[in-house]
Amino acid sequence: MTLPPSGTAPTTPTWKPLDERQRRVLGVLVEKAKTTPAGYPMSVNAIVVGCNQKNNRDPLTAYDDVDVEQALDGLRTHGVVSEIDWTGRVSKYKHHAYDWLGVNRAELAVLAELLLRGPQTLGDLRARAARMEPIEDQAALKPIVDGLVARGLMIELSAAGRGQMVTHALYLGPELEALRARPSAAVAPGHAAPLPRSAATSESSGELQALRAQVADLAERVARLESREGAP
């Protein structure tokens, strides 16, 4: 089972934003290390099953071996996952999220739930994270959230109070911008706020296509004007 190297969080975390598949794979590795240590470290096939399971996941996915292997390659490049040395024929992988993120056990449980489900209320987050580490109530969750927010690992999407929405900060830039731009009322209290299957490829690419269409239209108009001016 993957454990933090000491009782205190590392002082020099090295975390970076991750894409959607990398976040899901990392969340699965952390979750399984905590909840089913007998099956950890994990093979690619086991990670695929974990990514695509229908409970405690949002959005639902249909990743295959190639998807997961590509995500693992990226995570290894970032230094958050490694392939273990062992005598079996199937490769297995473990995470190094404690050092990479600079967090303790309870903090990693909270972040793992956000990686698996995205934005959610503090009430839902406490209940879900408590299956991995003991977090008795909202009062116990508050200092965990405050610490993660202060270190830039968690984002508050709505004002403090009943139904407050939060999420992790490991989104890529375009995803994070799209998420911050959403009105908090668009997120139903008590439910995760599913991002589009990569906000970067849905909202951002849609805006890009619209801009391209406008540019093409303007270029056509300019060409027409120039042809008229050049006509005898």
pLDDT in tens, 139-180: 999 999 999 999 999 999 998 888 899 999 999 999 988 888
Cα 222 to Cα 108, 209, 218, 226, 230, distances in angstroms: 56, 20, 6, 6, 12
Average pLDDT over residues 191-214: 46
CATH number of the 20-186 domain:
1.10.10.10
What's the alpha-carbon Rg for the chain, to the nearest Å?
Answer: 21
SS3 at position 188:
coil
Q: Is the pTM of this model over 0.95?
A: no
Give the domain ranges of the chain.
Answer: 20-186, 196-232
pLDDT value of position 2: 59
Nearest to 97 by CA among 86, 85, 111, 87: 111
pLDDT tens track for 67-82: 999 999 999 999 999 9
* Residues paired with residue 156 on neighbouring β-strands, in sequence order: 166
pLDDT for residue 198 is more than 50: no
pLDDT value of position 145: 97
pLDDT value of position 166: 95
